[in-house]
Amino acid sequence: MSQSTITAVAGPPGSGKTTWIRQQLAAETAPVLYFCPGSGNVPIDQTCIAAEFSQIKTLTDGEESLLAKHLENGVSAYIELGFHLQLTTLENLLQAFPSRRISVVPPEIKDTEWHQWGDVIVEGIAVSGEVDKLSIWRSPASGQVLDPASLDLFWYEEMTQGAYGKVHRAKGIFDIADGRSFYFDFAAKFQETAHEELQIPRWLEGRPQRFSGIEIVGENLDKTALGQTLEDCCLSEAVMLNYQQQVKESLLLGEEETS
């Protein structure tokens, strides 16, 4: 049995920690797992990695005992530390197993706690905002199906344009009316949103029994308004079922025409 290694990754929000980990996971041939402590009931990065890498085991908060068990069985782990966690959070674990500490930091900042903590410094991408002024707002949306037009209005014309406070970083996974699930990623430094469809089956049988949710890092966030607006984007039970029936009939018709 090979000896497990922990790769702990830390850095400011939006510096590219998850991107760097995804690059490493793509090259891994041995069994590895991914864990992002402190995600609570909004495991966005875990969900994306599980969808992209079917061979990678992901763990969520509350499964720390499984983490230790996997490590003892020789499985290596990538652990991502959010900026809101103390860098000493994993100290006992890092001392108990062979480990390396990777700090992903933007080129414009120097001599931070991440520089002191990391064994290896990886140059990340530029970020906006001062870390000590930032707060996080998270909300699960599991079981909800969003109207695409309302989601676009919320994401592109309101949230990222400052309608609910100064947003520096935002990411979310949403189920939409045609049964697909999409990942959204916004970085204020570049005023850009990327979005991609998760490679998972369409959900067309009632309320989705899988994770969806949103995470925003920013300043002076109006969390009440954010929650209410997101709720307003969700379809009622009757409308959702009607959409799903239409999509099923359309997909069936397409299959018949190609057969």
* pLDDT tens by residue, 85-134: 999 998 999 999 999 999 999 998 889 999 999 999 999 988 888 888 99
In the structure, what pLDDT confidence band is assigned to residue 2 with cuts at 50, 70 and 90?
A: low
Distance of CA 122 to the CA centre of its chain: 20
The fraction of the chain above a pLDDT of 90, given in percent, is 81
**pLDDT given for residue 1 in this prediction:** 53
- Tokens 């009931």 -> residue: 41
The pTM of the whole model exceeds 0.85 = yes
pLDDT, one tens digit per residue, over 163-208 is 999 999 999 999 999 999 999 999 998 888 999 999 999 999 999 9
Helix H, strand E, coil C: the string for the chain is CCCCCEEEEECCCCCCHHHHHHHHHHHCCCCEEEECCCCCCCCHHHHHHHHHCCCCEEECCCCHHHHHHHHHCCCEEEEEECCCCCCCCCHHHHHHCCEEEEEEECCCCCCCHHHHHCCEEEECCCCCCCHHHCEEEEEECCCCCECHHHHHHHHHHHHHHCECEEEEEEEEEEEECCCCEEEEEEECCCCEEEEEECCCCCCCCCCCCCCCEEEEEEECCCHHHHHHHHHHCECCHHHHHHHHHHHHHHHHHHHHHHC
